[in-house]
Amino acid sequence: MEEKLPPTFAITLDRQGFRTWRLKARQVLPLSTEETFVFFRDPRNLGKLIPESLEFTLVTPPENLEVHEGAEFDYTIRWFGMRLKWRSRIIDYLPPRRFTDIQLVGPYSSWRHLHTFDEVPEGTLLGEEVIYKIPLEAVLLEPMIHRELRELFGYRASRMAAWAEEASK
């Protein structure tokens, strides 16, 4: 999963409470907020941001892929060797500025993922903030979970940079 990280990418991880963490990632993309948001409003693009080794599959039927507040999407993903179901719901949707999804079914006790799209002179500042809680039975895996998430978001940043470079031509 190791990728060369884009120079505009930054990531931080800090504890919010027992088993609860906040991951913040940011990256500048050379596209307008509208162009960047278009990529994120299509759930099929999520698979382009996840390494093949995680065997990500979008399960939601194509006719149900419209993104809006209240929309739910089903996926499967291989995480630490286990095939897991993941269901997310969009709880806040304000195109082309932000949207938030939460995990309804999945490996975390809770997962809230805010995506923001801010105009900057170089294009768009893509911000991501994830507040997540690790299940009690997985607390001993905490260091590995953090490493996997850092690598996953680094991979996402590399894929986004490649997509944005191609889209800006």
- Report the pLDDT value the prediction gives residue 63, as an integer from 0 to 100: 87
- Residue (of 115, 108, 109, 73) closest to 92 by Cα position: 115
Domains and CATH numbers, the chain: 10-167 (3.30.530.20)
Residues, the chain, total? Answer: 169
- Report the pLDDT value the prediction gives residue 3, as an integer from 0 to 100: 65
- Report the pLDDT value the prediction gives residue 126, as an integer from 0 to 100: 98
HSE toward the beta carbon, residue 86, CA cutoff 13 A: 22
pLDDT per residue rounded down to tens, the chain (169 residues): 556 899 999 999 999 999 999 999 999 999 999 999 999 999 999 999 999 999 999 999 988 898 999 999 999 999 888 999 999 999 999 999 999 999 999 999 999 999 999 999 999 999 999 999 999 888 888 999 999 999 999 999 999 999 999 998 8
- Report the pLDDT value the prediction gives residue 107, as an integer from 0 to 100: 94
- Alpha-carbon distance of 169 to 32, in angstroms, equals 13
**Beta bridge pairs of residue 14:** 22
pTM for this prediction: 0.94
Which residues, 6+ apart, have CB-to-CB distance to 160 below 8 Å? Answer: 6, 27, 29, 39, 49, 126
- 3-state class (DSSP) for residue 25: strand
R_g of the chain, CA atoms, integer Å: 16
**Cβ(75)–Cβ(55) under 8 Å?**
no
- Report the pLDDT value the prediction gives residue 2, as an integer from 0 to 100: 56
